[in-house]
Amino acid sequence: MAQPVTTKGGKLRVMLGNDAEPIVYAAPCGFTSRSLTLSKGLEDVNLPDCDDPDAVSWTGRDATSLSMAVSGEGVMAQESVETWLDAWESVDSVPARIELEFPAKTVAWVGRMHVESIEAGGENGRRVTKSISMQSDGEMTRTVTP
């Protein structure tokens, strides 16, 4: 049995870019966990049986949209707090690059995302943590590099 090729959680990188040309991306410090969600909007349509109009119809689905969401949790690092707050305060979406690195290739998406929410919390005597949620704003272009 062949074993799957996997990667570690730190190889899923969330990077924000500047609005310069060319865009320079950097991964804000502090995430200890992160997730990537790829969604497809679907619209249902009934597909009748043309030979038997009284038969129960099957449901067909048409794709109507694609969306990407990123969320992450970790410590609130002084080095990145201004980066996250600037992105959240921006009325416009910010350049973003999401990378998933495997030993033989890296899959990356580049586009613009909105920082939807930032949640900070902490208990007395413990470190402040953060939870951040981002949503795509338009197309996220996928590339694969060896």
What is the mean pLDDT of the segment spanning 6-21?
94
pLDDT one-digit tens code per residue, 69-118: 999 999 999 999 999 999 999 999 999 999 999 999 999 999 999 999 99
Helices of type H across 10-93: 78-89
* Predicted local confidence at residue 27, as pLDDT: 96
CA 129/CA 80 separation, integer angstroms = 12
**SS3 of residue 54 by DSSP:** coil
* Predicted local confidence at residue 19, as pLDDT: 86
Q: In whole angstroms, how far apart are CA 40 and each of 43, 65, 67?
A: 10, 6, 6
CA angle 28, 100, 13 (to 5 degrees): 5
Token couple for 143: 């590339």
Token couple for 83: 């980066």
pTM of this prediction exceeds 0.75: yes
